[in-house]
Chains A and B, each alone.
Chain A
Amino acid sequence: MAAESSPPSGPAHEHVLVARDLVRRYGDLTAVDGVSFHIDPGETYGLLGPNGAGKTTTISIVAGLIPAHAGTVTVAGRPMGPGEVGAKRSIGLVPQDLAIYPELTARENLAFFGRLQGMRGKPLTRRIDEVLDLIALSDRAKDATKEFSGGMKRRLNIGIGLLHAPTLLILDEPTVGVDPQSRNAILESVEALSGGGMAVLYTTHYMEEAERLCDRIAIVDSGRIQAEGTRSELITLTGGLDYIRLTGAGEIGAAATALRGLDAVVQVVADRHVLTLTVREAPTAVAGVVTTATATGMTLSEVEIVRPDLESVFLHLTGKALRD
């Protein structure tokens, strides 16, 4: 059910992850402000929000990198925190930064982190081979990673996170700065993992990734979960409203003011050369919108009617575009 986040119900051990009322402050800034959610086995859960929304701080708490100032995290039934060794055995973290050693080969990187996870001998060797196959780096296993392309490093970054077959894989913006081909390969890998029963916590500011991968999505802004649910549940939050996007030049400010006066227009957001209008019945309203915009001095280069999507939901909930 799409709604603002609330503490998850039911016994914690039924969920792979339970986060309750998490709070984290940096001085006067509250980066995470009462965040609660849970993830079930085999589920891919997305934290969708712009940069600075509090996603990375949230997963830093969930992964036990930093303590929460309030609230609790439980992973596989065990309490999670910086000193909680037991809970950390159940997670695999893929940080946003490339957390690999450039002087080591791909195999050495995997072996190093595998040993820190307690893996040894033949099982470790066998698992490294499997992961190298999965991330398509078997033929480059003996090369120092400083010679790898950005996409190869990203794939290895993910491979290290899932080496020990964790119960919960945490991916923090894994496709940032990746070319389209590698990005697609990464997304396919994540889809395959969740299909295999692994729970995945996935943060992104790309709406398409959240829509494609996530069973449930939390829309995060200003350190809070604004809404949570499946894609279709979230879209219902827009109340069936459509969007018209006007791109152009000239008197954009004046056009925005005039458009707000139209009965069909619920909301207008101006972003440099683009006006995004939340409207009732876009096909009917579009003629009046175009006439008003051009009459107030805006020269239109593109008019687009947009069906409700997660970006629409974000816009509806926060009054700003996701890319902000």
Chain B
Amino acid sequence: MRQLWTMTASDLRQRVRDKSVIIFGLVVPLALMFVFNLTIGSTNDIALKPLTIAASVPADDALAATLVTALTQVDSFAITVDKVSADEAGARVRSAKAQLAVVVPDGFGDAVRQGRAAVIDVTEGDGSGIETDIALSVMRGVLDHLSASAVVVNAGLPSGVAPDRLGALAEQAATATPTVRLTEGKASTEQLSTSGALVAGQAGLFLLFTVGFGVLGLVAEREQGTMARLRSMPMRPGLIVAAKGLVSYILGVVATTVLLTVGARFFDVSFGSPTAVAALVLCAVAAATSLMFIIARVARTAEQASIAQSILALVLGVAGGAFFPLAATGLAGRLLDLNPIAAFTQGLGITAGGGGLADIGVPVAIMLGFAVIGLALSRLVPDRGREL
């Protein structure tokens, strides 16, 4: 045990001294987080501008008035409705004094009550943006609701319902509160913001580089000749491998924790329960470390190991959504889900959405399964660099 700690402590001291782990495990990923957050992260934070609508609405038409009322009740951004004549509405859009013109024809309410067709003219101004689209969506929703009255009338007439009774029913259908409601809730899955996903993805991606500073040291020791001396020491050869694994694990846990903590603070992200996040970090580091053992067996030189590590990190990182989320279904989707980086990000999504230890079973199982399979494979593949 003393020999294990002696080798681990010496390795950690060397890694800190040569600064590589600090540069590639902390500085570079943090810098990339800032860069990506400036570019990709801002696309989801859209600031909606105030919208002015020039509307021509017949006086004393209650149903037509519901259209205007619905528009003014939008609370995501400010909508101003200027009531003007039909000609003035079009002129205001053309002169850019309004972004949208709405002309409701005379007799609109009566037409709805009697189940007749009615046409509302809408004109979008130049350079209309997402705000205009939102206003039109709101209007379509109201019109769909009003269309229900036409259905009532057309269904009632053949049945012999009295016209005055039919009109009342049509108005009730047009204005009644919906009996079916949509209640918005939160599930403890995939609740990461764009910035949160970037921080999690970058932490996962660079974890695959950081753990290399431990296990891939086996290849470096072989190249620089110190492996021969270590193996001549009075200790089990397995201790050398165990020490490298421990170095990888310590570096991986420390670097990932720092990246998540600093990233969360700088980009105003919350990953939720610290205990659950810690469990995810421990499992992700175990999975990443197991991959390095495979590379250490297959690579003959440090250069080969470095290339294999970069390829693996980029493939798993991109597939795991380190730069942008990848959506796939079927077999491809299942394969993507089995990626430890994807499982790590998914797990952080669950904790960010309020999930605890009990909710992260699937990503934890994926990462631990990956670690077990990786370690088993590292024992099975031929050790190409061992022959002296």
A contact residues vs B (CB 8 Å cutoff) = 26, 56-57, 60, 63-66, 82-83, 85-86, 88-89, 91, 93, 95-104, 108, 112-113, 115-118, 160-161
Binary interface profile of B, 367-388, with partner A (CB < 8 Å = 1, else 0)?
0000000000000000000011
The reply to whether the CB of B232 lies closer than 8 angstroms to some CB of chain A is yes
Which residues of chain A are within 8 angstroms of B224 by Cβ–Cβ distance? 97-99, 102
* Interface of chain B residues 96 through 142 with chain A (CB within 8 A): none
* Pairwise interchain contact B6-A83, C-beta atoms closer than 8 A: no
| Extra contacts besides A98-B224, A99-B224 (5): CB < 8 Å | A64-B231, A88-B232, A93-B229, A95-B228, A101-B226
The reply to whether the CB of B235 lies closer than 8 angstroms to some CB of chain A is yes
A26 and B225 alpha carbons, distance in the complex (Å): 20
* Pairwise interchain contact B225-A116, C-beta atoms closer than 8 A: no
B10-18, B38-46, B254-262 - the one binding chain A? B10-18
Closest B residue by C-beta to A65: B231
Which residues of chain B are within 8 angstroms of A83 by Cβ–Cβ distance? 236-237
A60 and B233 alpha carbons, distance in the complex (Å): 13
Q: With contacts A57-B388, A115-B3 known, is A95 near B233, CB below 8 A?
A: no
Name 19 interchain pairs, CB-CB below 8 A, sorted by A. Answer: A56-B388, A57-B388, A63-B228, A63-B232, A66-B388, A83-B237, A85-B235, A86-B234, A88-B232, A88-B234, A93-B228, A95-B225, A104-B10, A112-B6, A112-B10, A116-B3, A116-B6, A117-B233, A161-B229
A103 and B234 alpha carbons, distance in the complex (Å): 24
The reply to whether the CB of B2 lies closer than 8 angstroms to some CB of chain A is yes
* Pairwise interchain contact B229-A95, C-beta atoms closer than 8 A: yes
A64 and B17 alpha carbons, distance in the complex (Å): 32
* Pairwise interchain contact B229-A26, C-beta atoms closer than 8 A: no
The reply to whether the CB of B302 lies closer than 8 angstroms to some CB of chain A is no
Tell me, rounded to whole Å, the shortest Cβ–Cβ distance linking B213 to chain A.
Answer: 12
Which residues of chain B are within 8 angstroms of A26 by Cβ–Cβ distance? 387
Q: Which one of A103, A118, A161 has the highest number of Cβ atoms from chain B below 10 Å of its Cβ?
A: A103
* Pairwise interchain contact B14-A103, C-beta atoms closer than 8 A: yes
* Pairwise interchain contact A101-B10, C-beta atoms closer than 8 A: yes
A83 and B7 alpha carbons, distance in the complex (Å): 18
The reply to whether the CB of B250 lies closer than 8 angstroms to some CB of chain A is no
A91 and B231 alpha carbons, distance in the complex (Å): 12
* Pairwise interchain contact B228-A98, C-beta atoms closer than 8 A: no
The reply to whether the CB of B230 lies closer than 8 angstroms to some CB of chain A is yes
Tell me, rounded to whole Å, the shortest Cβ–Cβ distance linking A167 to chain B.
Answer: 12
Question: What 9 A-B pairs come out closest when comparing CB atoms?
Answer: A97-B225, A99-B229, A93-B232, A88-B234, A103-B14, A99-B225, A89-B234, A116-B233, A95-B228
Closest B residue by C-beta to A93: B232
Tell me, rounded to whole Å, the shortest Cβ–Cβ distance linking A300 to chain B.
Answer: 44
Closest B residue by C-beta to A161: B229
A163 and B233 alpha carbons, distance in the complex (Å): 12
* Pairwise interchain contact B235-A103, C-beta atoms closer than 8 A: no
* Pairwise interchain contact A118-B234, C-beta atoms closer than 8 A: yes
Which residues of chain B are within 8 angstroms of A98 by Cβ–Cβ distance? 224-225
* Pairwise interchain contact B388-A116, C-beta atoms closer than 8 A: no
Closest A residue by C-beta to B224: A97
Closest A residue by C-beta to B387: A26
* Interface of chain B residues 301 through 340 with chain A (CB within 8 A): none
Which residues of chain A are within 8 angstroms of B230 by Cβ–Cβ distance? 116
Binary interface profile of B, 1-27, with partner A (CB < 8 Å = 1, else 0)?
011001100100110011000000000
Q: Which one of A86, A99, A116, A118 has the highest number of Cβ atoms from chain B below 10 Å of its Cβ?
A: A116
Which residues of chain A are within 8 angstroms of B233 by Cβ–Cβ distance? 88, 113, 116-117
* Pairwise interchain contact B232-A115, C-beta atoms closer than 8 A: no
* Pairwise interchain contact A65-B228, C-beta atoms closer than 8 A: yes
Q: With contacts A98-B224, A104-B10, A116-B6 known, is A85 near B232, CB below 8 A?
A: no
Closest A residue by C-beta to B225: A97
Closest A residue by C-beta to B17: A103
Q: Which of A65, A101, A104 contacts B232 (CB 8 A)?
A: A65
* Pairwise interchain contact A60-B388, C-beta atoms closer than 8 A: yes
A118 and B226 alpha carbons, distance in the complex (Å): 18
* Pairwise interchain contact B232-A96, C-beta atoms closer than 8 A: no
Q: With contacts A64-B231, A98-B225 known, is A85 near B236, CB below 8 A?
A: yes
A83 and B237 alpha carbons, distance in the complex (Å): 7
* Pairwise interchain contact A115-B234, C-beta atoms closer than 8 A: no
Binary interface profile of B, 217-229, with partner A (CB < 8 Å = 1, else 0)?
0000000111011
Which residues of chain A are within 8 angstroms of B388 by Cβ–Cβ distance? 56-57, 60, 65-66
Tell me, rounded to whole Å, the shortest Cβ–Cβ distance linking B385 to chain A.
Answer: 13
Which residues of chain A are within 8 angstroms of B10 by Cβ–Cβ distance? 101, 104, 108, 112
